[in-house]
Structure formats: structure tokens, C-alpha cells
């Protein structure tokens, strides 16, 4: 799976890894999944590893990601 995550509740950190092949739709779907995860209630810091991804979101796509996070 191109986007995986783990949650460290004691440190309030979400560790997300994006790997190839990766699409923008999968990134958005990841945020929907986090939104539905009951463990993700409240504030968390996010560590994002894109070192093995073939693409990263473009500047214009960052706004869409921010909108999904705000939702």
C-alpha cells in the first residue's frame, strides 16, 4: 500500500509513510482514513516520510490536502 501510518498515542505522533507508486487520490484517501480512525481524536504531530515516493504533491494540491485535514 502506498500510504501507511502508525500512531504513537503516548507521544501524540502519527508516522505516515508514502511509497511508490503513489497517487494524489491515495494521499487524500489517507486523510479520510485518519479522520475516521477513532484513535486520531484531538491534536497530533505528523512525521511524513516520502523518501521512497516517486512523486510528492504539487503546490496546488497542498491546498486540497489542507482542506481535507480541516474537515
Quick one: DSSP state of residue 36?
Answer: H
pTM over 0.75: no
Across the chain, where does the E strand assignment appear? 3-8, 13-19, 45-52
List Cβ neighbours of 18 (8 Å cut-off, separation of 6 or more).
2, 3, 27, 48, 49, 50, 52, 53, 56
**pLDDT attached to residue 69:** 63
Q: What is the pLDDT of residues 11-64, one digit of tens each?
A: 999 998 988 888 888 888 888 888 889 998 888 888 888 888 887 767 777 677
Amino acid at each position: 500500500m502506498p500510504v501507511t501510518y502508525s500512531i504513537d498515542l503516548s507521544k501524540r505522533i502519527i508516522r505516515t509513510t508514502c511509497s511508490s507508486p503513489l497517487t494524489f487520490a491515495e494521499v487524500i484517501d489517507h486523510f479520510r482514513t485518519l479522520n475516521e480512525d477513532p484513535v486520531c481524536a484531538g491534536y497530533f504531530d505528523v512525521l511524513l516520510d516520502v523518501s521512497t515516493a516517486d512523486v510528492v504533491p504539487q503546490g496546488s494540491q497542498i491546498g486540497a490536502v489542507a482542506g481535507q485535514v480541516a474537515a
